[in-house]
Amino acid sequence: MRLRNIPGADEAIADSPHCIQEPMAEKGRWHLIFGNENPIHIEIGMGKGQFIMKLAKEHPDINYIGIERYSSVLLRALQKMEIEPLPNIRFLCMDASIITEVFDKEEVAKIYLNFSDPWPKDRHAKRRLTSSRFLGLYDQILADGGIVEFKTDNQPLFDFSLESVKESGWTLLMQTRDLHHSEFAEGNVMTEYEAKFSAMGNPIYKLEAVHDKKA
Ligand code: SAM
């Protein structure tokens, strides 16, 4: 994501009813924020929010939480929410590395990772959102049977992620190296990056994985 520091972004987030200012205070209490017991799905690295906002519109019976670490990027999603507010979505401006301090054990039903930063240098592998370090964090907050869904156009990152899923003892539910021309294309919701990269002719890779808690 190309970043410009947008003046006023931090203030807009601090003032927004759609952003939770102290997410750690809500650990174990997210259902109270939404006022219902619907399942909670999160997207980590949501960017400008196109994907998660479309899902929230299509599935009013699911609560969505979008996580983005840069205020100048998250601001774009807030601007869209002002035009079309959705009751079943909230945003968090934070780094995913503190996710277990924000969500309680089994509080999340599904995690989406879309076009996550590749961190190509080996010494930065732990920062990849599909590394075994992050899968370990997801395992702590996901309910039994909770799925991680990951899309990318980056082949080395996809190969790394497959390896990481296997090494961490997760089960691969599906994988494709050309999502848009596969049996899994129907119902696919495109992200901003996905639209951009597929328009350039790049194939889109996708996997879904689950960790059996009883194993
Ligand atoms: N998911 C969007 C899409 O597919 O269009 C945006 C993809 S962009 C390449 C990756 C986004 O993830 C960036 O906005 C970046 O700031 C965010 N991000 C990367 N690592 C993160 C982390 N550890 N915690 C929160 N956000 C993160």
Strand partners of residue 91: 19, 66
* Ligand 1 pocket, Cβ-based, cut-off 6 angstroms: 1, 44-47, 67-70, 73, 95-97, 114-117, 191-194
For the residues 81-93, what does the mean pLDDT come to?
A: 96
Give the C-alpha separation, 151 to 112, whole Å: 8
With the most atoms of ligand 1 within 8 angstroms of its CB, the residue from 44, 52, 154 to mutate is: 44
Residue nearest atom 15 in ligand 1 by C-alpha distance:
45
Q: What is the pLDDT of residue 7?
A: 83
Strand partners of residue 89: 64
For the residues 173-191, what does the mean pLDDT come to?
A: 98
Residue 3 has pLDDT above 60, yes or no: no
Q: What is the pLDDT of residues 47-69, one digit of tens each?
A: 999 999 999 999 999 999 999 99
Q: Which two tokens stand for residue 163?
A: 């390896």
pTM of the predicted structure, to 2 decimals: 0.96
Q: What is the pLDDT of residues 100-156, one digit of tens each?
A: 999 999 999 999 999 999 999 999 999 999 999 999 999 999 999 999 999 999 999
Query: Of all atoms in ligand 1, which is nearest to the CA of residue 70?
Result: 16
pLDDT bracket for residue 214 (50, 70, 90): low
Give the C-alpha separation, 208 to 171, whole Å: 9
Q: Which two tokens stand for residue 154?
A: 């980056």
Annotation says 139 is catalytic = no
A 10 A CB-CB count for 162 gives: 17
Residue nearest atom 14 in ligand 1 by C-alpha distance:
47
Give the C-alpha separation, 131 to 127, whole Å: 7
Residue 215 has pLDDT above 90, yes or no: no
> Do the Cβ atoms of 40 and 29 come closer than 8 Å?
no
Phi/psi at 100 (nearest 5 deg)? -75, -10
Question: Catalytic: which of 61, 95, 104, 117?
Answer: 117
